Chains A and B, each alone.
Chain A
C-alpha cells in the first residue's frame, strides 16, 4: 500500500539504466536480470471491453474501430454511461373510445435511456428517444466524411501496393543479373500480375486505376460568412463544448452541447510482456477478461530482496548520520546478502563500456524490429551518483526464506549486534551510517546509493545450468533534504 500512496523513497536500477521503484520492475529468470517497462517488449494479447468484459478477437476489434458496440461513455465527462429504466405511460389520445384499447394502453412499457452518474447527463438531454430494449439499438451516426476517408484509405493502400511491387521488381532485377538460372515464372511466362490474380490479390490494374482516379482535395478560399450577431450575441458557456469533449468525438467535433452524443466505449487490451534479450515471457495474463491473475508473473518484487527505509537522522554536510533499513527476502529460499558500494558491482560481460545517451535508447525503443543490437543500445549503466554514501559493513547477512505462517508469531529474535537491529522471519532491520560530503549545499536532495549482492536460487533452471547464482542490485535511497 505504501507503494501506491507514498512517493518512491527507494528505487532500483534496471539493467537498462532506468531507476524505478521495485513495484514497477520485472525480473527475468532466464537472464537473471532486472528489467523494466522501458526495456521489455509489450505485446497485445487480447482486446476486451472493461465495462461489459466482452472478449473480442483483434480482427473484429479493428473492424469495430477498437470500440465496444454495447457500452458507451458520457460525452460530457467521459464516465461510463449506465442504462436506466423508466416506466413510460403510452400517450392516450382522447379520441380513442372503445374500452378495450384503453385497458391495453394503460399497461406501462419499460423504456431505457442512458444516464451518467457523475455529471447527470442523460441521452434525453440531446433528444435521443428512449429504447425499448436494455442494450443495443442506439441510433448509430454516420461519419460525414466517411466516403472521403474510404477513398483516401483505398488510395494509400494502392500506393503501398505499388511501392511493394516496385521493390519486388527491383529485387528481382538484381537477382536476375547475378543469377544464371531462369526462375519458374520467367520460364512459364507466368507474370507477376497473373500470379497475383491466382492468389486473389488485387491486380495491378485495379491499383493503377485507384491511383489514377483519385482526386486530391483542394483548398478553397470561400469561407462561410459569420452571422450578423456573431460579435454581439451573448455567449452562454454552458452551451459550448470544451476542447476535450470535442476531441473525444473527432468525426463530429460538436461545438454545442446539444450535439453531444454517447461515445462508444474504447476497448482495453490485455498485454503480455517479453524480455528482449531472451524472448521469454515476463508476464502473461489469464485470457478471461474478468480475471486479474497472471499465468506468468516474474516481478522483481517476488525475486529481488526488498529494501525499505525505517528512519534516518537528518543528513548534515560533512557528518555521518544513522540510517535504519529493513531488508526482506521475498523468495522461498534462504538468501545471503552483502552490502556493497555501487562501484564494486562487477560489470556483466555483455554490458558495453561506452555510456549511451538516453535519447538514442528512446529512439531505438520505438523501433519495432527485434534485434540484439537494439538490446545492446538500450543497455546502459545506471547513473547513481549520489550526494551521500552509505558506509557498508563487510558482513554477510543471512535472510531466512519467506514463510507465510511465520506472520502470526511476532516475537522478534534479538540476536542484535552493531549492525543488526532485529530479525523477524524473512525480515531484517539494519543500522547503518550515512556520510555526507562537506561540500554538499544545504537544502539539496540527500540521496544515497547502495548495492546489494545476493544469492539467488533459480527454482526452475535450464539443463546444465547452476541453480544458485550471485546477483547484484543497485539502489538509490531518498533521504529527504540536506539540513544546513
Chain B
C-alpha cells in the first residue's frame, strides 16, 4: 500500500489513554497514521463515552466534516461514523483506521461504518497485524522433564520449618494399599478429635444463631453465633498441642449467652478448622475418606488465609479439575501420599469434596509441559519471600 499516512488527533481522552493509543499506532499502524494535534488533524478518534469527548468533538468540528472513529461501549445512536466497540481490539482499531484513510482518499470504506467486534476482515486480502516477537507465546514448546527434588522445592517458602512439616504431615511412607496392616496405618479416627466437635459446634452456632462453647479444660473455644468465626486464644502452637493429645472423651458443645469471655482473638472458623484438621491428621486420612475413592474439590480452598502444606496448591489444582482418589492424586503428581492425605483431611473438614465429576473443559490431558518454567518461577517467588 503506497498510501500516505493519515494525521489523527485524539479527543476526549486522558493522557494515559492517549499514550496507549499512540503506542498502538507506533507499533501496529505506523504506516497508516500519525498522532498530531487537533489543528493538523485529518481525522479524529473520539472517546464517545467520556463526558467531554462528545462536547469537545462538537466544538472542534461543529459541522462534522472531519472523519472520525467513535469509541464507546454501546453503539452510538448517531450513524455515519466509524465505530469501534470497547474494550477496543487492536484489529478492529486497525481496520477502522484503514477505513479512515480510504474515506480521506474518497474511496468506499471496506469495513462498514460500524465494526462489530466479532466481525472478521472482509474480502480484502490483508496481512495479519504483526505480533510481538519478544514473548514466547507457546508454553507447550518449553522443554519437559525435570531433575531436581521437587520435594525440596515444595517445602521452601512455606511458613513452616522442616521439623514443623514433619510434625504436621507426619513421616508415613507411601503404603501398599493391598496390604491390610499398611492400609490401616493411614487412617485416624476423626470422632475422637477436635475436628468433629468444632464442626458440630459451628453447625449449632449457625442454626441457633448463638454462641457455642467447647469445653476443653484449659482452653476456652467459643464458636460465635452464625458459625463463621471462632473466638479463642489459639495460636499455632496451642492448636498443635491440643491436636497432638488424644482426647479422653467426646467433647461437649454447649450453647452460651454472650458476653462470657474476656478479650481474645477472633479467627475465621475456616482457618481454625483447617489448621486443627491438619494437625490432627498428621499425614493420615480420616476414616470417613477412602484412599481409592475418586472425589473432587468443589472449590479452591482460600489458601491466602489457610496453612499451606507441601504441594498443597498443586494438589488443589489437580483436584478441582478432575475427580480422582487420594492415591491417584499422589501418583499423578508424583508426591508422597502423606501430603495428599494432609490436604484431603483439611479439605474434608471444610466439606469441600464432592463425588461428582466436573464438566470443566480443563482436563488432565491438556496440562501443558511447562514444569521447568513454573518451578523456576516458584523458586523465584519463594526465595524472595
Partners in one complex: no
Partner-B contacts on A (CB < 8 A): none
